[in-house]
Homo-oligomer: A and B are copies of this chain.
Amino acid sequence: MKSLEPLLNLQHLCVNEKANDSSVESTKKTESFTTPLSLDEVEVILGYEFKNKQLLEEAFTDASLGEDFSNERLEYVGDSVLNLLFTKDQYFEYPDLSPGVLTRLRAANVDSDKLARVAVKHGFHRFLRHKKPLLEDQIRQFSEEIRRYPLHSNGLVDVPKALADLVESIIGAVFIDSNSSIDIVWKVFKDLLEPIIRRETLRIHPVTQLYEMCQKKNLKVKFVDLWKESTTFDVFVDDQFVGRGSCRLKKEIAHNRAAKDALDNIVRILDKKDT
């Protein structure tokens, strides 16, 4: 078994560590995280004025706060509204696409990676009332990490689920407040949800992509699980070491990062083989 380490681009190895760098900007953010602001400002960001302000308050109340109400029910509603809105939009935009591709396209736009970005981009997280001691650090780290992946990380970064839930809750709140109008919800959120992932910008999950690529070229893929020992996964293609991925918190992300690293390297390896 020949090691190909010199060829490797191990960019997915130290993401968490790097994200811990403190900067003036992130210190500023910390302050605003801890001070809940007036929800009037949210109405300005949305360009929508609530008839029932309690819905707005509910949307920004995390269950961890232990109050009588939380945004869990609105999140449930918002998830369903958002699914239909993308279903409808893409049905008309892509008259030739099969349900299989439409499902993947919709999933990329409504999953937690995509929605948590929306929260960060428009600063909704600053208004969230919660009692999750680790959340602010997670948000800061997430905000740093997604800079490398402008649209979607496809499983390469750790997403603070509470942020995605928050966006769904706001959508649910506008839906209920607007007398269940999907048209009003779309008008309010269409631009806020940009950049929307379209057919041209849809990327395959790195693990799927690696398997598909190797199957085409008749190469054998093997992941070696070293997560317990060193929070990493190694990838071998036809018994050659081609990539490594690491994540201290989540095994699945380490696995995905290993696949991405292998994909980044494998093209060069195959090129070298051919020459």
Binding site for B on A (CB under 8 A): 72-73, 75-77, 80-81, 83-84, 87-88, 91, 97-99, 102-103, 175-176, 180, 182-183
Enumerate chain B residues within 8 angstroms of A76, measured Cβ to Cβ. 87, 91, 99, 102-103
- Docked CA distance A45–B81 (Å): 28
* Nearest B residue to A175, CB-CB: B88
Which of these, B73, B83, B97, B176, contacts A80 with CB under 8 Å?
A: B83
Q: Which of B72, B88, B182 contacts A77 (CB 8 A)?
A: B88
Given A99-B72, A99-B76, residue A180 in contact with residue B182 (CB < 8 A): yes
Give the distance to chain B from A67, nearest Cβ to Cβ, in Å.
15
Given contacts A182-B180, A182-B182, contact A80 B72 (CB under 8 A): no
Given A73-B102, A75-B99, does the pair A176, B91 have CB atoms closer than 8 Å? Answer: yes
The contact sample of 11 A-B pairs, CB cut-off 8 A, is A73-B98, A73-B99, A76-B87, A76-B99, A77-B88, A80-B83, A80-B84, A83-B84, A84-B84, A88-B180, A180-B182
Cα A178 to Cα B102 in complex, Å, equals 22
Give Cα A97–Cα B182 distance, bound, in whole angstroms: 23
> Shortest Cβ distance from A108 into chain B, in angstroms?
16
Smallest CB separation, A52 vs chain B (Å):
13
CB distance from A190 to the nearest CB of B (A): 14
